[in-house]
A = this chain, B = another copy of it.
Amino acid sequence: LNKHAKKKFRNLFLSLHGYEQSQIFAKLDLNQRKISYALLTPKELANVFDDTEEDPVETAKYLEEMDSQYAARLLTEMYTDNVVDILSGMRPIKQRKYLNLLHGDEAKQVRDLIHYEDETAGSLMTTEYIKVTDEQTIGSAMQQVKREAQEAELVTYIYVVNKQNILVGVLSVRDLITHGDEEKVANVMTTRVLAVDVNEDQEAIAEQVRDYNFVAIPVVNQTEELLGIITVDDIIDVIDEESAEDYSRLAGVDTESVTRNPFQTALKRLPWLITLLFLGMLTATLINHFEGLLSEVSVLAIFISLITGTAGNAGTQSLAVAVRRLATNSHLKIWRLILNEIATGIIIGIITGLCVWLMVGLWKQNLLLGGVVGAAMASAIFVANLAGSLIPIGMEKLGVDPAVASGPFISTLSDLTSVLIYFNIAQYFLQLFIR
């Protein structure tokens, strides 16, 4: 590239939004990236990295390619929460290297944040917010906002603390511009301000922000000292992450991690499949136990997969409903849910059982056989349906996230119970018939 082309590229690139810049940057190869480090100032590249959706591990790799002075300035310009994301994925030696490159103040902020546990308020919060004291006037607060607006991640809310740095109120930018310069912050601010504890789980925070329609929420420690804020864009990422997690778990597979290598993909899926294979072998030994019956009345084998499959489907349905209900409704009456599922299971079981009785009875011209299959189907559905809601409820009681229960697990478990029910019913009735 000659000088003119470089300037043109620079201007074009800078006219884009940070997210678009990051999309372009992700497509560059090593040489092109090296050129971009020369063309863009650390501040300009910081903007790109702040808006990137890339893995922090990827971004850490880019840092390695840069001259360390450039990297240090880049990190200084980035929002602290993003710097923490990048550094916390590094090995300790690397992490220390970059912390040493940062200015004392900035390094301290990052160091403070890096120790918070993943998925807590502490790991999500940023320290770039505007904080005034309750003794300031609106005018001086406004002056401060003007000074700090460029650095802050959010100017819509200004948080008010007292001399001990205890959070005492919040000012909206609306309050600032609609009140006179002479008024005291303490008289204008809203004193009812909801804050979250620094160790609070991210899912609970996301729920609050969603329910209250917040744009940001302040984070405090046990003594109500203001430590940082969490902005709504990070909350959206949390909501996305948590819902992807629930989705993955329902299918018994990690749907998010993109691997190019089929061996790695297989390695991620196999543990669950093999675990369930052992449960499936249990079902097989159970059928084996009934081999005498099967060899006598081989027609029974025809309906094994019909019964196990349908019961598994019903179980998966009730599982998904129970998991969602438990996740979204904190005032849920557990007994109501169970009773409702019992009644629903009975209704679904009877209707499906009757359908099967007719279908099998007419097909095989044998209403007794149809009755056996239908009754087994009805019972198997009832059991699978109930298990689908009892298992997540039990997990919740044990303090395990109910979303861990997966559809494949419920289907495989219901294979076992369905087979047990089917052959017992068959044995009982067909003995009557044969004798």
Binding site for B on A (CB under 8 A): 15-19, 51, 53, 142, 145-146, 149-150, 155-156, 172-174, 176-178, 192, 194, 209-213, 215, 232-233, 235-237, 239-240, 243-244, 246-248, 250-253, 255-256, 258, 260, 262-263, 265-266, 269-270, 272-274, 276-277, 280-281, 283-285, 287-288, 291, 294-295, 298-306, 308-310, 312-314, 316-321, 323-325, 329, 340, 343-344, 346-348, 351-352, 355-356, 359, 363, 407-408, 411-412, 415, 419
Bound-complex Cα distance A178 to B250 (A): 50
- Verify B306–A304 contact, CB threshold 8 A: no
A17 to chain B minimum Cβ distance, whole angstroms, is: 6
- Verify B305–A280 contact, CB threshold 8 A: yes
Interface of A, helix, strand, loop or mixed by DSSP: helix
CB-contact partner of A355 in B210, B277, B291, under 8 A:
B277
CB-contact partner of A173 in B16, B155, B237, B419, under 8 A:
B155
CB-nearest residue of chain B to A324: B255
A317 to chain B minimum Cβ distance, whole angstroms, is: 4
- Verify B408–A178 contact, CB threshold 8 A: no
Contact A247 B246, CB 8 Å, known A156-B173, A215-B215, A273-B313: yes
CB-nearest residue of chain B to A20: B212
- Verify B320–A250 contact, CB threshold 8 A: yes
- Verify A260–B320 contact, CB threshold 8 A: no
- Given A210-B237, A301-B301, 16 more A-B residue pairs with CB atoms under 8 Å apart are A18-B212, A150-B174, A155-B174, A156-B173, A215-B232, A236-B236, A247-B247, A250-B320, A272-B313, A273-B313, A273-B317, A274-B355, A276-B310, A277-B306, A280-B309, A291-B302
Contact A309 B411, CB 8 Å, known A145-B177, A243-B243, A352-B274: yes
CB-contact partner of A407 in B250, B280, B348, under 8 A:
B250
Bound-complex Cα distance A256 to B287 (A): 38
> Looking at A237, A285, A301, which has the most chain B CB atoms within 10 Å of its CB?
A301
A14 to chain B minimum Cβ distance, whole angstroms, is: 11
16 chain-A/chain-B pairs, Cβ below 8 angstroms: A155-B172, A247-B324, A250-B407, A253-B320, A255-B323, A260-B340, A262-B344, A262-B346, A266-B347, A273-B348, A280-B306, A284-B306, A291-B298, A291-B301, A294-B301, A309-B412
